[in-house]
Amino acid sequence: MIHLKRAYEAAEPGDGARFLIDRLWPRGVTRASLKIEAWLKDLAPSDGLRHWFNHDPKRWNEFRQRYFAELNSKSDAWIALAEAARKGPITLIYGAHDAEHNNGVALAEYLQTQIAKKKR
């Protein structure tokens, strides 16, 4: 199971292993308060893609396609995260205000698709 949480929300026991998946550290948040297993900067969208998207919901579908293409070329970075999700709950931590249109939502979708492919 893959959960999503903003970096500004408190950690909870049901979160499982927590991973920060943004390229930039969330403002005003300490490492201790995040309670993360790892900061996976390499899984964040490239700076160019992040700036192009600019959290514009009109660009969401195109952002997902471009981000998935980036992830396809980084299998070494996401395979361990997919393995962790197979073993138990994980929580992807992101900083964006928009809970529906952010890299965490897209990454969770991507990982779930990859996990489902492997089960076949």
For the segment 80-110, what is each residue's pLDDT rounded down to a tens digit?
Answer: 999 999 999 999 999 999 999 999 999 999 9
How far is residue 67's CA from residue 10's CA, in Å, rounded to a whole number? 27
Q: Is the pLDDT of residue 115 over 70?
A: yes
More confident residue, 12 or 75: 12
pLDDT score, position 48 = 96
Structural contact between residues 54 and 40, judged by C-beta atoms closer than 8 angstroms = no
Domain boundaries, the chain: 2-119
- Asked whether residue 120 carries a pLDDT value surpassing 80, the answer given is no
pTM of the model: 0.93
Q: What is the pLDDT of residues 12-68, one digit of tens each?
A: 999 999 999 999 999 999 989 999 999 999 999 999 999 999 999 999 999 999 999
